[in-house]
Amino acid sequence: MERFKKLGIGEQLMKVITEMKFEVPSEIQEKAIPSVLSGKDVIGKAATGSGKTLAFGAGIIQNTKKGEGIQALVLTPTRELAEQVAQALRRFSKHYNLRIQEVYGGVSINGQIDGLRNAEVVVGTPGRILDHLERRTLNLQKVKVLVLDEADRMVDMGFLPDVEKIINMCPKERQNLLFSATISSDIEYIKKKYMKNPQYILVESYIDASKLKQIYYDVPSHMKFSLLAFLLKNETVKKVMIFCNTRTNADIISDNLVRFGLRAVAIHGGLTQNKRNMIISKFHSGEINILVCTDVAARGLDINDVSHIYNYDIPKTSNEYIHRIGRTARAGKEGEAISLVTNRDYDSFRKVLQDESLKIEPWELPRMEQIALYLPQRGRGGGNRRFGERDDSRGRRDFGRRGGGSRGSQWGRGSRGRR
């Protein structure tokens, strides 16, 4: 507790930190909070799970005054992250009586308009914030702190022009706090154009490499689902996230896992916000233990205790891979990241392996039976409607059917494998 106090955290916030049983500050909190509290601009290289919300939240909460208008604005790439950050700030500010309003699309705008009238802190996604600005239901003239949370994601998702419009509507005199898992040229651009002499804080080791086992299987594509099902049935898995590259694949995989008797649900941008919230709370409570997701839906979710990450589809870059595996082996717990690589994934996987810091070991395929993978029927009137209705046409049409593929070692790293 002393270590929190030393950072300049006030009594009321200390009470909450004690209630939440945080014992020591995380690295980003320790390094960022003093600068944040003193009003300096900060760029924090830190990912989900690093404790960055309290790092910027401490500043927002301690420097915001009740009843004096919207003084802090937090921009997030996704609705889930907005919801999660707003909830965390509400919890942290319990004894400060501040009004925190979340603002994101996919839900009715009227409740947000009411909430914005007497809010002091706004957390939201760029699109809906612009919408409110255009309707003049949001006024940013009193903003003293602007937070760009998961700034790299916002850029990746094409929000930079919207973010810039919003920044330009804030007062020039303000504190800027930017958090990002990766620092790209776009982040440098934001820094140069909008920030004042920011302090860089790098939290490199957000994955505990000693606790994280990273492996891959080179699997013929017709056996890929069979391998996934085999591993899920035979390994002691607690909470699992399975990543797919498209909504369609996420639906197909989760439906097939359910058919196979597993407690899986798909979560992706094609579901309503309420549905997504419901799924996340079921995952938290343990009612379901397998979340099949797309990267967009998974971004910024506050999900701890993930024991296994499966890359059913291989991410296209090592950054994306790092974001995915960053959800396991947290807070001293063990974790496993398993990539299922077929011949179609070789190009992407080669890109992932370009990051030499990633120690991904090849493993031998276990002996397993082939399981039929049910696919959506294409066209009208045919068979399995449940799938066909949600086909977003970006999925692979021949998923899991064709191929068999070459299985040589493609990456110049020796195959050790499990005996």
- Least distance to ligand AMP, CB of residue 243, Å: 19
- Least distance to ligand AMP, CB of residue 303, Å: 9
Single-letter amino acid, residue 10: G
- Least distance to ligand AMP, CB of residue 149, Å: 9
Whichever of 7 and 371 has its CB closer to ligand AMP, that residue is 7
Q: Which of 162, 164, 302, 361 binds ligand AMP (CB under 6 A)?
A: 302
- Site track for ligand AMP across 254-293, x = CB under 6 A: ----------------------------------------
Q: Which of 35, 50, 182, 248 binds ligand AMP (CB under 6 A)?
A: 50
Q: Which of 49, 326, 395, 400 binds ligand AMP (CB under 6 A)?
A: 49
Q: Which of 31, 45, 52, 191 binds ligand AMP (CB under 6 A)?
A: 52
Whichever of 179 and 312 has its CB closer to ligand AMP, that residue is 179
Task: Give the count of residues interacting with ligand AMP (CB under 6 A).
Answer: 13
Q: Using CB under 6 A, which residues numbered 22 to 41 contact ligand AMP? A: 22, 25-26, 29
Q: How many CB atoms lie within 10 A of CB 200?
A: 11
Burial state string for 102-132 with b = 16 or more CB within 10 A and e = fewer than 16: bbbeebeeeebeebbeebbbbbbbbebbbbb
- Least distance to ligand AMP, CB of residue 238, Å: 17
| Cα(106)–Cα(99) distance, integer angstroms | 22
Is 328 a binding residue for ligand AMP by CB under 6 A? The answer is no
| Cα(338)–Cα(241) distance, integer angstroms | 10
Is 78 a binding residue for ligand AMP by CB under 6 A? The answer is no
Is 48 a binding residue for ligand AMP by CB under 6 A? The answer is yes
Whichever of 186 and 302 has its CB closer to ligand AMP, that residue is 302
Residue 388 Cα distances to 245, 253, 275, angstroms:
18, 14, 20
Q: Are 35 and 43 in contact (CB under 8 A)?
A: no
Whichever of 224 and 330 has its CB closer to ligand AMP, that residue is 330
Single out the residue of 173, 1, 156 nearest to residue 71, CA to CA. 173
Beta bridge partners of 306: 328
Residue 106 has phi, psi (to 5 degrees) of 85, -5
| Cα(368)–Cα(295) distance, integer angstroms | 29
Is 361 a binding residue for ligand AMP by CB under 6 A? The answer is no
| Cα(212)–Cα(215) distance, integer angstroms | 10
Residue 152 Cα distances to 75, 184, 191, angstroms:
12, 7, 12
Is 51 a binding residue for ligand AMP by CB under 6 A? The answer is yes
| Cα(327)–Cα(345) distance, integer angstroms | 22
Single-letter amino acid, residue 168: N
| Cα(339)–Cα(217) distance, integer angstroms | 6
CA atoms 360, 364, 368, 371: torsion sign: positive
Is 239 a binding residue for ligand AMP by CB under 6 A? The answer is no
Single-letter amino acid, residue 365: L
- Least distance to ligand AMP, CB of residue 306, Å: 12
Is 53 a binding residue for ligand AMP by CB under 6 A? The answer is yes
Whichever of 83 and 313 has its CB closer to ligand AMP, that residue is 83
List residues near ligand AMP by CB under 6 A: 22, 25-26, 29, 48-54, 302, 304
